[in-house]
């Protein structure tokens, strides 16, 4: 039971508190004093010549075509569409390809799923089944759509054998598959050398243009023409499509994307992880950085003979907010959307990570952890820090 | 029965055909040869200093606050949120404030409604009732949300007496009201001198930042804090919120919005309408331009002793596509979203309208109508023009 953040509304208040801190740092010290290490900074790399063409009917006429070409190179498939967020692409797909009372099943390397899939299933009034154990995976009667998550929010990667197994079972039954490759479209392929989702036989694949690349928050869905046409209709119907300014920025981000940049972060990650071990036992490597899970944060606190009524998640939110307030470091537990992963993760592929050496990061984590130890003993103070007021 | 455009998928093909023509004009003759008279051009007036702040967590921290201030000045209310489109704001409101099997009722000056309201009601599994006759209006049991449309897609305006009557009936029953003031927030208030929706007692009001102002396609919802908080949660949950680049452009558009500019178009509209009468009987005035309804277009064709198997809507789509192809004029029947109004409407408040004198517009309409007469006799040719291939 969380003590500080109890409901989704609290998560919104927490996010607003984080935004308030960001504004105050920007006002006082400028953009340089902020380090967005979410790996989701959401760049907006449009060029000067783009700006005057970003109108409702003129923008898409130009950029949708360019986007499609680049998207198909990146993801494969026959046709593509850009969404306001990957989450809206998932909503559109579920509305377009399932009917109420049918079933949606989902295989992922480790539960829980990103909330967008079960929540969209619920709004569509479909039944949702989640598996993270391939031995238990099966496709029940009345299943109309199968999700595969390529890489989880905490960057755990699907095994290629499991991926193939699910595709082959789906094909046997003739049920369409969509791969949520939000970060996976780059993580899986570039760092783990796996084929793209579509090369592996998926009918559809969706990726986030702000994850491990310098695009805006948003999603691109690619795959079979017949399915994309159905989904596109739903997208326009409910206003889920990306607008021209986003599409133009996605085009530029795809044009400028370089796998080599991602590969260079691996060395830095290894150095950071090694140095962190001296102070903290529980930081794990992620494909492009390091992370510590909420339960492990609570254990690190308890190692210091400190008793706290805070839940593991609360401690993660709190550490994240301290990192922001004292050091200008943005991470997901403080600034993320409701339902985002509470794992404290530092992404070294982020543009701002270039401004920080591993030693500096270790130093910041040590200092902020001392502050966390103090605050964890005083729940009212902790609550004020997280929710303001 | 439409002969050429039968299904929503055909409307998407038609839109893609329009985009193809726009691309080809841009390539050959440049932006100057295009006249977007939709009144929905969707400007993107960000400034140089905005561009570097449009990131996922930094952008909203700055612009959401600014937007809220300007939005509350424009619409009234206590709290505001920006959406990817007005349609997504309506979807979020319906998901947040109604439950399956409850009722949503809608009063508007003239049916049919913009499709976003009945379609969102359907996806939520609620019952939808529409009224455009105040004498028949009533609030049945199990109603949980009441929509009022301030100005229709064809710019028909609600009577203030009817508006007040619905608000008072809603308040009696304690049911929340939302005003779809997509264009109405400016049309009703500036041209018809009506109070804002919130001044009239509505709990929520939503407007489109691309309608009668130079903002991006997108929506702003304002109203009571308690309701906005619930809707905001749903917005983030399904990815319906506007992203930072859109929010920044909305901020600039609201800063630069001038009612006087809108009022100046009235004189030009009257001149155009008078001159058009010599050639066409059926053009009507709209608050900021002129329009002709599909049935009237078919009648104008028949006046010339021409028999055509095309439906009224088909003739409107066709005229609109001819205007685009031959004269670079963008109107909704050719380039709009599926379900958009098939009325051929020219909006003189559009930025591009400044490039055209009334005499030029009359001349273009006469010429393109001659082409329409020819094409209406040859359905296969008409179909190719509309859908390509």
Q: Which residue of A has its CA nearest to B44?
A: A54
Question: By the CB < 8 Å criterion, does B229 face chain A?
Answer: yes
A224-233, B7-16, B48-57, B101-110: which range is least confident on average? B48-57
Distance separating alpha carbons of residues B91 and A124, to the nearest angstrom: 13
| Interface residue of A84, A91, A251 to substitute, partner B, most B CBs within 10 Å | A84
pLDDT tens-digit readout, B344-387:
999 998 889 999 999 999 999 999 999 999 999 999 999 999 99
Closest Cα in chain B, distance from residue A283 (Å): 24
> Is it the case that residue B299 has pLDDT exceeding 70?
yes
| Interface residue of B30, B36, B45, B56 to substitute, partner A, most A CBs within 10 Å | B56
Residues of A in contact with B83 (CB under 8 A): 239
Closest Cα in chain A, distance from residue B8 (Å): 7
Distance separating alpha carbons of residues A181 and A114, to the nearest angstrom: 11
pLDDT tens-digit readout, A195-208:
999 999 999 999 99
Q: Do B237 and A119 touch (CB under 8 A)?
A: yes
Q: CB within 8 A of A128, min separation 6: which ones?
A: A103, A104, A105, A106, A117, A118, A121, A122
Q: What is the pLDDT of residue A289?
A: 94
Question: By the CB < 8 Å criterion, does A356 face chain B?
Answer: no
Residues of B in contact with A229 (CB under 8 A): 9, 12
> Is it the case that residue B389 has pLDDT exceeding 80?
no
Q: What is the pLDDT of residue B155?
A: 86
B60: DSSP letter: H
Q: Which helix (H) or strand (E) holds B228?
A: helix B225-238
Q: What is the pLDDT of residue B264?
A: 87
Distance separating alpha carbons of residues B169 and B137, to the nearest angstrom: 10
> Is it the case that residue A156 has pLDDT exceeding 80?
yes
Q: Do B240 and A88 touch (CB under 8 A)?
A: yes
Sheet (strand B79-83) strand order: B79-83, B219-223, B204-208, B177-180, B143-149, B103-107, B127-131
Residues of A in contact with B239 (CB under 8 A): 83-88, 91, 116, 240
Q: What is the pLDDT of residue A5?
A: 86
> Is it the case that residue B199 has pLDDT exceeding 70?
yes
> Is it the case that residue B1 has pLDDT exceeding 70?
no
Q: Which of B22, B64, B124 lies closest to A58 in CB terms?
A: B22
The CATH class that applies to domain B8-37+259-387 reads: alpha beta
Residues of B in contact with A117 (CB under 8 A): none
Q: Do B243 and A84 touch (CB under 8 A)?
A: yes
Q: What is the pLDDT of residue B302?
A: 94
Q: What is the pLDDT of residue A40?
A: 85
Q: What is the pLDDT of residue B52?
A: 77
Which residues 150-189 of chain B have a CB within 8 Å of chain A?
none
Q: Do A18 and B57 touch (CB under 8 A)?
A: yes
Q: What is the pLDDT of residue B57?
A: 82
The CATH class that applies to domain A57-242 reads: alpha beta
Question: By the CB < 8 Å criterion, does B277 face chain A?
Answer: no
Domain boundaries, chain B: 8-37+259-387, 57-242
Average pLDDT over residues A127-156: 96
Q: Which residue of B has its CA nearest to A86?
A: B239
Nearest to B59 by CA among B246, B252, B200: B246
Residues of B in contact with A60 (CB under 8 A): 19
Q: What is the pLDDT of residue B59?
A: 84
Q: At what angle do helices A312-327 and A358-376 cross, to 10 degrees?
A: 120
> Is it the case that residue A53 has pLDDT exceeding 90?
no
Q: Do A119 and B19 touch (CB under 8 A)?
A: no
Average pLDDT over residues B230-242: 95
Which residues 97-126 of chain A have a CB within 8 Å of chain B?
100, 115-116, 119-120, 123-125
Q: Do A8 and B42 touch (CB under 8 A)?
A: no
Question: By the CB < 8 Å criterion, does A34 face chain B?
Answer: yes
Q: CB within 8 A of A388, min separation 6: which ones?
A: A13, A16, A17, A20
Closest Cα in chain B, distance from residue A121 (Å): 11
Nearest to B291 by CA among B341, B334, B339, B363: B341
Q: What is the pLDDT of residue A97?
A: 98
Question: By the CB < 8 Å criterion, does B244 face chain A?
Answer: yes
A294-298, B40-44, B169-173: which range is least confident on average? B40-44
Q: What is the pLDDT of residue A126?
A: 98
Q: What is the ipTM of this complex?
A: 0.89
Q: At what angle do helices A358-376 and A379-387 cross, to 10 degrees?
A: 130
Q: What is the pLDDT of residue A1?
A: 65
Q: Which of B34, B218, B335 lies closest to A243 in CB terms?
A: B218
How many A/B residue pairs have CB atoms within 8 Å? 216
Average pLDDT over residues A85-101: 98
Residues of A in contact with B240 (CB under 8 A): 84, 88, 239-240
- For chain A, the three-class secondary structure string (H helix, E strand, C coil) is CCCCCCCHHHHHHHHHHHHHHHHHHHHHHCHHHCEECCCCCCCCCCCHHHHCCCCCCHHHHHHHHHHHHHHHHHHCCCEEEEECCHHHHHHHHHHHHCCCCCEEEEECCCCCCCCHHHHHHHHCCCEEEEECCCCCCCCCCCEEEEEEECECCCCCECCHHHHHHHHHHHHHHCCCEEEECCCHHHHHHHHCCCCCCCCCCCCEEEEECCCCCCCCCCEEEEECHHHHHHHHHHHHHHCCECCHHHHHHHHHHHHHCCHHHHHHHHHHHHHHHHHHCCCCCCCEEECCEEEECHHHHHHHHHHCCCCCCCCHHHHHHHHHHHHHHHHCEECHHHHCCCCCCCCEEEECCCHHHHHCCHHHHHHHHHHHHHHHHHHHCCHHHHHHHHHCC
Q: Which residue of A has its CA nearest to B63?
A: A23
pLDDT tens-digit readout, A161-173:
999 999 999 999 9
pLDDT tens-digit readout, B245-289:
999 999 999 999 999 988 888 899 999 999 999 999 999 999 889
pLDDT tens-digit readout, B306-329:
989 999 999 999 999 999 999 999
């Amino acid at each position: 039971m969380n003590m500080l953040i109890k409901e989704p509304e609290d998560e919104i208040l927490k996010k607003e508190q984080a935004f308030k801190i960001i504004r105050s740092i920007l006002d006082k010290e400028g953009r340089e004093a902020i380090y967005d290490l979410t790996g989701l900074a959401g760049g907006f790399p449009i060029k000067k010549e783009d700006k005057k063409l970003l109108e409702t009917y003129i923008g898409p006429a130009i950029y949708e075509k360019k986007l499609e070409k680049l998207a198909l190179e990146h993801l494969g498939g026959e046709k593509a569409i850009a969404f306001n967020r990957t989450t809206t692409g998932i909503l559109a797909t579920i509305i377009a390809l399932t009917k109420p009372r049918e079933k949606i099943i989902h295989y992922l390397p480790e539960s829980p799923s990103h909330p967008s899939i079960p929540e969209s299933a619920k709004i569509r009034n479909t039944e949702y089944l989640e598996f993270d154990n391939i031995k238990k995976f099966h496709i029940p009667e009345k299943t109309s759509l199968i999700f595969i998550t390529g890489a989880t929010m905490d960057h755990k990667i699907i095994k290629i054998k499991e991926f193939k197994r699910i595709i082959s079972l789906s094909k046997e039954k003739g049920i369409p598959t969509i791969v949520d490759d939000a970060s996976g479209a780059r993580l899986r392929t570039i760092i783990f050398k796996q084929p793209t989702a579509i090369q592996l036989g998926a009918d559809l694949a969706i990726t986030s243009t702000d994850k491990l690349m310098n695009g805006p928050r948003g999603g691109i869905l690619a795959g079979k023409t017949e399915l994309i046409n159905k989904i596109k209709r739903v997208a326009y119907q409910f206003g889920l499509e990306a607008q021209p300014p986003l599409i133009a920025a996605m085009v530029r981000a795809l044009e400028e994307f370089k796998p080599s940049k991602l590969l260079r972060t691996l060395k830095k990650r290894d150095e950071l992880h090694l140095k962190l071990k001296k102070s903290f036992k529980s930081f794990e490597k992620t494909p492009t950085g390091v992370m510590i899970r909420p339960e492990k944060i609570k254990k690190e606190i308890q190692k210091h003979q400190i008793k706290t009524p805070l839940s593991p998640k609360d401690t993660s939110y709190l550490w994240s907010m301290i990192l922001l307030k004292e050091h200008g470091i943005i991470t997901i537990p403080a600034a993320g959307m409701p339902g985002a992963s509470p794992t404290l993760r530092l992404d070294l592929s982020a543009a701002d990570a270039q401004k920080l050496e591993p030693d500096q990061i270790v130093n910041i984590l040590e200092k902020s952890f001392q502050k966390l130890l103090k605050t964890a003993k005083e729940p009212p103070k902790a609550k004020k820090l997280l929710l303001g007021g």
